[in-house]
Amino acid sequence: MKSLFTTEQIRNLDNFAITKIGFPSIVLMENATNSILNIISDFFKTPLSNKSFSIFCGKGNNGGDGIALARKLVLEGSYVNLYLLFPEKNLSPDAATNLRILKSLGKEFKNFRIILLRNQIKKIEFQKTDFVIDSILGSGSTGSLDSFLKSLIEKMNSSFGKKIAIDIPTGLNSLNSTGDVLFNADLTVSLGGLKDSLFYGKGYECSGEVRYGDIGISPKIIEKSSKTKLVEIEDLINLIPKKRKTINKYSSGKCNIIAGSSDYPGAPVLTAKSAMKTGSGAVTLHIPEILKIQTIKSFPEVVVKSYSNSNFLTLENLSEIQDGLTKSDTVVIGPGLGRNRETFLAVNYVMLNMQVKKVIDADALFALSQFGYKNYDLSNAILTPHLGEFACLINVEYGFLAENLIKFGKDFVKKTNSILVLKGPSTLIFSGDELFISSLGNRGLAKFGTGDVLAGMIGSFSAQGASLLESALAGVILHGFCSELIKNSESSYTLTASDLIRTIPNAFKKLGI
């Protein structure tokens, strides 16, 4: 796992380097520029000489990074159009110093131009630009862009050149990863440390590939202050429960799944297959009688405990499966249950009367929202909502939630002592005061059934003895890793939930598990 930092923490690191260690700020800028140069060349797999760059610089030290980069590119033999948003007199001291050095090169080098925009978008030319670099605002930006900056960013985004953001893309609010008009980067170089806002919300959408830019002082100095981690595929090795030689099918994890209805017959099969493929020895599926024959045909390995006289779970037929549930290690409840009032009453009973570990997903989450999540003990539960389900669960308007994801997620687990897996393009896992972010996965996961597979994975790891947090992390990582393997070997466009299950053995094999 990699530590992620807030912009305030990185500013504190800068201040520590300057005031406590004695690094001149312009030395940190020079170190950052060297790192940016190397990262660009490595990421795009090309020498930078003879390439053309359009670099847009603000007046602060983020702009200074861009000006220093322009100087180095000129010396490399690149062609540079340096667009300044402010005259020299308004620049920060380090930015002004680098601009004066660059100007002095004009006596010997003719491969650059300095253009003062003065709010004139028409001065910008992209006809032969290979790279567009955003060095305008940096991580200090938290408010909305003015009309000129919005027009400028839209113009920059229209270029066919490869796009690079220095520190963070302009338009991104670094406090909560929101924004209206944002620079759409192919590559973002996060200086001093990896910033959390680049890995979720709008930051994840507009940052492209994120690379760490070294400023000459390691972020390990402030690592203990970070409560946010970026999970990686390799972390899976230490999260998955180890199996003893003497295990049997019951000691290898008893995972019971309450799922399915006549409207959603496939969800329980996906969840159960996922649970068994990820190691649970005894997977029992509790479904309506109407689904039994087809389920056994498609998945003969699963034990089916069906309930009669209904196309969906009701409080009345819950007694038919209650005994088996109490003997399980973990119960997964929700996939495909439907939203009948009788089903909500049954879910309510399970939540109030069964103390076994639970993975609460899909329609079971909606049931909790009907009765109020505060009425339940969720300390032994993992909840797996997407943003819409979470907004409904906590009764918050969707847009307001999206602007305050971290706050609401942390508040929820603090109140409930649960584990929250907030599904999205990047998935956020909340536990106590810690936040884990997974940017694994791709757009192929935005399909019916993929959430059912994730619930099965998480429930399986929990049933096998992993802690609730370990189970959530392992499930999220494996789920994303499988989608990446499918993307690389086939296509994310054709990915289905069944493909994820089919890919689980290959994922384990690649990790030596």
The CATH 3.40.1190.20 portion of the chain extends over: 247-510
On the question of pLDDT at 366 being above 80, the answer is yes
For 427, the enclosing helix (H) or strand (E) is: strand 427-431
For 179-218, the three-class secondary structure string (H helix, E strand, C coil) is CCCCCCCCEEEEECCCEHHHCCHHHHHHCCEEEEECCCCC
d(CA 230, CA 426): 10
d(CA 473, CA 479): 10
Nearest 5°: phi and psi at 308? -100, 175
SS3 314: coil
Per-residue tokens: 294: 């087809």
Displacement of CA 219 from its chain's centroid (Å): 21
How confident is the model at residue 285, as a pLDDT? 94
Reported as a single tens digit per residue, the pLDDT across 147-206 is 999 999 999 999 999 999 999 999 999 999 999 999 999 999 999 999 999 999 999 999
Q: Which amino acid is at 80?
A: V
> Tokens 């196309």 — which residue?
311
Confidence of residue 239 (pLDDT cuts 50, 70, 90): very high
What superfamily does domain 247-510 belong to in CATH? Ribokinase (3.40.1190.20)
In the β-sheet with 2-4, what is the strand arrangement from edge to edge? 2-4, 228-230, 434-438, 427-431, 419-422, 381-383, 357-360, 330-333, 254-258, 282-288, 303-307
Radius of gyration of the chain (CA): 26
First to last CA, the chain: 19
How confident is the model at residue 252, as a pLDDT? 82
Query: What CA–CA distances, in Å, run from 464 to 60, 282, 324, 327, 342?
Result: 53, 10, 17, 14, 31
Cα–Cα–Cα angle for 212, 213, 215, nearest 5°? 135
Nearest Cα to 203, choosing from 428, 36, 492, 14? 428
Strands 254-258 and 434-438: unpaired
On the question of pLDDT at 56 being above 90, the answer is yes
Mean per-residue pLDDT, 50-71: 96
Per-residue tokens: 115: 């253009």
Please report, to the nearest 10 degrees, the dihedral formed by the alpha carbons of residues 17, 20, 25, 30 taken in order: -40
Mean per-residue pLDDT, 92-117: 94
Q: What is the DSSP string of 221-289?
A: GGGGG--EEE--GGGHHHHSPPPPTT--TTTT-EEEEE--BTTB-SHHHHHHHHHHHTT-SEEEEEEEG
Confidence of residue 326 (pLDDT cuts 50, 70, 90): confident
How confident is the model at residue 1, as a pLDDT? 93
How confident is the model at residue 261, as a pLDDT? 95
On the question of pLDDT at 248 being above 90, the answer is no
How confident is the model at residue 410, as a pLDDT? 97
CATH code of 2-230, in short, is 3.40.50.10260
Reported as a single tens digit per residue, the pLDDT across 284-307 is 999 999 999 999 998 999 999 988
Q: Which residues have C-beta within 8 Å of that of residue 411, sequence separation ≥ 6? A: none
Specify whether the CB–CB gap between 285 and 304 falls below 8 A.
Answer: yes
Displacement of CA 244 from its chain's centroid (Å): 33
Specify whether the CB–CB gap between 379 and 353 falls below 8 A.
Answer: no
On the question of pLDDT at 331 being above 80, the answer is yes
Lowest mean pLDDT among 45-59, 60-74, 136-150, 425-439: 136-150
Nearest 5°: phi and psi at 368? -60, -35
SS3 378: coil
> Tokens 């030290």 — which residue?
61
pTM for the whole thing?
Answer: 0.94
d(CA 24, CA 168): 23
How confident is the model at residue 322, as a pLDDT? 78
Q: What is the DSSP string of 137-189?
A: SGGG--S---HHHHHHHHHHHT-SSEEEEESS-TT-BTTTTB-SS----SEEE
For 53-102, the three-class secondary structure string (H helix, E strand, C coil) is EEEEECCCHHHHHHHHHHHHHHHHCCEEEEEECCCHHHCCHHHHHHHHHH
Q: What is the DSSP string of 461-508?
A: HHHTT--HHHHHHHHHHHHHHHHHHHHHHS-STT--HHHHHHHHHHHH
How confident is the model at residue 106, as a pLDDT? 87
Beta bridge partners of 133: 55, 164
Q: Which residues have C-beta within 8 Å of that of residue 246, sequence separation ≥ 6? A: none
d(CA 404, CA 408): 6
d(CA 481, CA 62): 35
Confidence of residue 140 (pLDDT cuts 50, 70, 90): confident
Reported as a single tens digit per residue, the pLDDT across 399-447 is 999 999 999 999 999 999 999 999 999 999 999 999 999 999 999 999 9
How confident is the model at residue 452, as a pLDDT? 98
In the chain, the percentage of residues whose pLDDT exceeds 70 is: 100
Q: Which residues have C-beta within 8 Å of that of residue 187, sequence separation ≥ 6? A: 39, 40, 43, 44, 162, 163, 164, 165, 208, 209, 210, 211
d(CA 185, CA 180): 15
Q: Which residues have C-beta within 8 Å of that of residue 467, sequence separation ≥ 6? A: none
Per-residue tokens: 413: 């687990």
